[in-house]
A and B are shown apart, each in its own frame.
Chain A
Amino acid sequence: MKLPVKISQPLLLTAILFINIACQNGDPIPENIPEFITKVVLTFSPEGSGSIIKVTATDPDGGGVQDIKVDGPINLLKNNNYTLSLALINELYKPGDDDYDVTEAIKKEGEEHQFFFSFSEGAFSSPIGAGNIKDYSSAIVGSINYLDKDLEGLPIGIETSWITSNTGVSSKSFRVLLKHQPAIKSSSSTSTDGESDLDILFELNVN
């Protein structure tokens, strides 16, 4: 009795397949990493007196173990009008590259993003209160003076307006939170909806 397929044939086939599949190609292609945010710059531009205040938070190692570094507290003057502009930067790219300035992408995809802010009470006379970042359980949300809007007419928050208080504060906190809210952002969505793309705590002095 002869075997329909010789034992040797699968063996040969096996050897051929082994060689074919084990062949290694060259180096893998590096990925673009457009979602990385390695640096955040807060720029407070005064309307009246005082100079422009710039505070930068830098992540030294991306997903690594080192904490982000903030180059000092936010020092604002009492009773003054400021416009806050946010710049989100991906330093894996060079200045001028499309993906270097993440702020542009956020602006373009404004319908699914919103910035939220919280701060110590008494720091600002407008907005008053403690900002619009809330805990899951709390219902009270303050307001923010948003200066920009997405295509649906909802706020984004790359540009916001602030009036510091008369009394001032020292060594208080100022938190900036960016939420990704695809198909969630609405006139009633809050800081607990969606996923955090950015969440940084700064120290704030108003004097």
Chain B
Amino acid sequence: MPSLVAQDNCKLTVIGKVLDESKNPLPGATVFITELNLGKVTDQNGVYTFSDLCGGNYIFEIKFLGFESQRVSIQLIKSENLETILHEEDRILTEIVISDHRDPVEKTSTFGALSGKALEDVRGKSLGESLQSITGVTTIQSGPAIFKPVIHGVHSQRILILNNGVRQEGQQWGAEHAPEIDPFIASNLVVVKDAGALKYGTDALGGVVIVLPAELPTDQQIGGQMQVIGSSNGRAGVMSGMLEGGISKHTGWGWRIQGTAKRSGDLHTRDYNLSNTGYEELNYSASTGYHKEGKGVEFYYSHFNTTIGILRGSVVGSSEDLVNALESEPPQNTKPFSYQIDQPRQSVTHDLLKLTSHLRKGINLFHVQYGLQINNRKEFDLRRGELAAFPALGYKLYTNTIDTEWERTEGKSHIRSIGFNGMIQDNNKIDGTQNIPFIPNYVSYSVGLFWVEKFSKGLWDWEMGARYDFKYYDIVGFDYKNELYRSNLNFNNVSASVAGTFKINANSSLTTSLGSSWRPPSVSELYSLGTHQSAAAIEYGLMLDKLTNEVLVASEVKLNVEQAVKWVSTYQIHKGKFSAEISGYLNYIFNYIYLRPKGVTISTRGVFPYFRYTQSDASFLGADFSLGYAPRKNLNLMSKISLLRAKDESNDDYLIFIPSNRYEVSMRYDIPNLESWMNPYLEIREKFVSKQNRAPRVISLRQIIDAKEKGDDLLENDYQNFDFVDSPNGYFLTSLSAGISRSMGKSKMDIRVTADNLTNTAYREYTNRLRYYADDIGRNISIALKYIF
């Protein structure tokens, strides 16, 4: 109990402000008065208010993900203003959110986070592109607007994305399908790089991406922000706004509404326009919730809507077309700049409705969450006559998830969690595509149970646990003759992980984890049939007969689930002017499912190589380094290195689209404040991406076609992976950014100017499918204005 100095005066107010090291406010930080069990969340100016406090001694605990927590002792005699500066951490060793809420990240994880200033730097970019600034995270790209996150070389259905606590269930079966999430909803973007995310279900073989919005405000005052970003490349504009507040007379209730609009025309390389690469996006979300003393409930709804153009010059109907497209520079049908988005294009909507509630009863914390997601994807191709108006491919995916968790504090440093996850999915083709569906309709049911123990012992923090999952598919599709087939499959398996962090001393720690995670083959890997957007190759699923293409009877096929065993160890040190984080990892994936070349066929559209989903063992071995040095208080030097080698172990072969090694150095100079002009800074960043030398062999399409016309199938008895062209050369990119803030009474304006690819280099990135047809995008200068009120 606080010693009460002035018990009669219970009208004291504490107005506080939470800032980062460069004095930028941290909205969404939580402030907790331990003695009163009272919590607040900072507003857009980083400000919180506690009113009607009695005099006495209090401990304020201030927390924000990505920063070291702070405890501040206050002897409260009169109303006070309190300013707290939090120090950034690449990894956080303390608990993050108010104790009633789920911790999105465990103490014992190896992870990287974007929040505060680092997140502001990537505002306006898509989720995948934003995450690239975390060490060890890259992307698989399809043109300038489609980014799929890659964690330690692993991507797509091997990465779990948690959007505001809900497993994101979009249509991730294509290399050109980006996550359907607006990163503007997030106050934190976190990437967990180990395979131990046991609470959220299967599929986290490579890691977990967590998109975390700020806590809802509990104060009555209304705050918000408005952001406008303009970019030279694509003549693009982004506008995003947010408004939030409490509800008067209903303490504990808070609300927030948010929306983002984006529009870009054709992007351009150093030398030419990339026709039909514009995009549009319109997203909004609304949430309201009640939080008070150990109980809470929250409703959340978000809508995501995008239309993305696919480079006109990448459209091919046959291998001969692809030969032309590969040789053509600038790409075929390149036209002057336009905002017009024609075929081919994709249009995707994603709706998420979430209800969540928690209740603390003594040492027990109960958590229930329901999520409904509706994902609607349509892909439009260049088609004959009136058919162009119909999507060539379209699916609607409904996902219901229910997550429950019972967390029990067993002792001072021991927490036990037991939980259940259920999911029902229903995937339906959109009628009227006038194409044989590429993947079948299905209903799937999944259930999972987990048990996780967390405890501290001496200098060690431990987490260990296991989970069991069962998945059932009920499938109905159409085969190559357009005849209906039905199939049922089920899979089940166990995941387990153990992780520990050892505090070596006050400045350094070592984290190590060993986790095993699995995933069932996805329906696309089982039943894909045919070609899809911009791929001059035919793809066949695991469940199709190799000679007849007939759908196999499920009970007669021996299928294995993909199972990863991932080990990650991280050493972290902060000492004076130096900081360093070094991670090493090995991810060995048994029964890794991917498309391997299996032969060449002649159809009425000419010669086509074809690929089958096959299973083999694959390994991903790598290391991430991030080193910091601050020779002076206002000068920061940063260096990041990501190294990776991946292999198909069963076939002693290289895998395609594996990110090459990359190196980055940056220097940031913080200029002293000039009256009401605050936090001016200048930052320069140099990135080098090396050529991928561990790439599959090259066989040109011309060789394949010429051989086939002479009756030779170059792939028939030689299933080694291949690529149509050599991996592109390494490249350097320079970027420059500068920013300044101006405070105007209660509100604040941030201005930021960024130049990416400053030297306008013509380059191609190995993991961008655009590399087959065109250079990557040239110089881009953007100006961002942010107004916080």
Interface residues of A (CB under 8 A from B): 1, 3-5, 7, 10-11, 13-14, 17-18, 21-22, 24, 27-35, 37-38, 40, 57, 59, 61-68, 92, 105, 108-109, 112-113, 136-137, 177, 180, 182, 184, 192-193, 195-201
Contact = CB atoms under 8 A, between A and B. Distances in A.
Q: Which 4 residue pairs spanning A and B have beta carbons closest together? A: A195-B317, A199-B606, A196-B318, A64-B549
14 contacts: A3-B297, A7-B366, A10-B356, A14-B355, A28-B429, A28-B441, A28-B484, A34-B387, A35-B435, A37-B604, A61-B549, A65-B540, A113-B384, A136-B323
Contacts of A38: 604
A32 B370 contact: no
A98 to B, nearest CB: 13
A136 B297 contact: no
A10 B606 contact: no
Contacts of A57: 604
A17 B599 CA distance: 46
Contact of A59 (B324, B540, B603): B603
A68 B434 contact: no
Contacts of A5: 290, 297, 357
Interface string B296-335: 0100000000000000000111101101100110001100
A67 B484 CA distance: 24
A136 B480 contact: no
Given A67-B602, A196-B606, A184 B387 contact: no
Contacts of A24: 426, 443, 474
Contacts of B400: 17-18, 21-22
A34 B384 CA distance: 9
Given A7-B357, A18-B424, A28-B476, A198 B327 contact: no
Contacts of A193: 332-333
Given A11-B368, A34-B387, A35-B435, 18 more contacts: A4-B253, A5-B290, A7-B359, A10-B297, A10-B356, A17-B400, A18-B424, A21-B426, A22-B443, A27-B476, A61-B548, A62-B436, A63-B538, A64-B601, A184-B333, A192-B324, A196-B318, A201-B709
Contact of B315 (A7, A40, A59, A195): A195
Interface in B262-298: 290, 292-293, 295, 297
Contacts of A3: 290, 295, 297, 359
Interface of B: 250, 253, 290, 292-293, 295, 297, 315-318, 320-321, 323-324, 327-328, 332-333, 355-357, 359, 366, 368, 370, 372, 382-385, 387-388, 398, 400, 402, 424, 426, 428-429, 431-437, 441, 443, 474, 476-478, 480-482, 484, 529-531, 538, 540, 546-549, 599, 601-606, 610, 709
A192 B295 CA distance: 67
A196 B605 contact: yes
A33 B436 contact: yes
The winner among A57, A195, A200 for most chain B CB atoms within 10 A is A195
Contact of A30 (B332, B484, B547, B599): B484
Nearest to B544: A64
The winner among A61, A63, A67, A112 for most chain B CB atoms within 10 A is A63
Contacts of B253: 4
Nearest to B386: A109
The winner among A33, A35, A38, A199 for most chain B CB atoms within 10 A is A199
Contacts of A29: 431
A198 B602 CA distance: 11
Contacts of B250: 4
A30 B478 contact: yes
Given A14-B402, A35-B384, A112-B385, A63 B480 contact: yes
Nearest to A24: B443
Given A17-B370, A193-B332, A195-B321, A30 B604 contact: no
A67 B606 CA distance: 10
B630 to A, nearest CB: 48
The winner among A24, A136, A201 for most chain B CB atoms within 10 A is A136
Contacts of A92: 481-482
A89 to B, nearest CB: 10
A32 B327 contact: no
Given A5-B357, A61-B549, A10 B370 contact: yes
Contact of A31 (B478, B481, B530, B549): B478
Contact of B372 (A17, A62, A105, A196): A17
B84 to A, nearest CB: 30
Contact of A63 (B332, B531, B602): B531
A26 to B, nearest CB: 10
Contacts of A113: 384
Nearest to B402: A14
Given A4-B290, A197-B384, A66 B601 contact: yes
A191 B398 CA distance: 44
A39 to B, nearest CB: 8
A28 B428 contact: yes
Contacts of B549: 61, 63-65
Contacts of A67: 601-602
A31 B602 contact: no
B174 to A, nearest CB: 17
Contacts of B321: 195-196
A62 B601 contact: no
Contacts of A195: 315-318, 321, 382
A21 B422 CA distance: 14
A135 to B, nearest CB: 8
A112 to B, nearest CB: 7
A192 to B, nearest CB: 5
B293 A1 contact: yes
B156 to A, nearest CB: 23
A188 to B, nearest CB: 13
Contacts of B328: 136
B551 to A, nearest CB: 12
Nearest to A199: B606
B292 A27 contact: no
Contact of B604 (A11, A32, A64, A198): A198
A61 B779 CA distance: 48
A31 B482 contact: yes
B370 A61 contact: no
A65 B443 contact: no
Contacts of A105: 384-385
Contacts of A22: 400, 424, 426, 443
Contact of A180 (B317, B443, B540): B317
Contacts of B606: 196, 199-200
Nearest to B433: A31
A31 B372 contact: no
A64 B355 CA distance: 46
Nearest to A39: B604
B384 A112 contact: yes
A150 B699 CA distance: 40
B358 to A, nearest CB: 9
Contact of A32 (B372, B402, B426, B434): B434
Contacts of B426: 21-22, 24
A34 B372 CA distance: 36
A31 B436 contact: yes
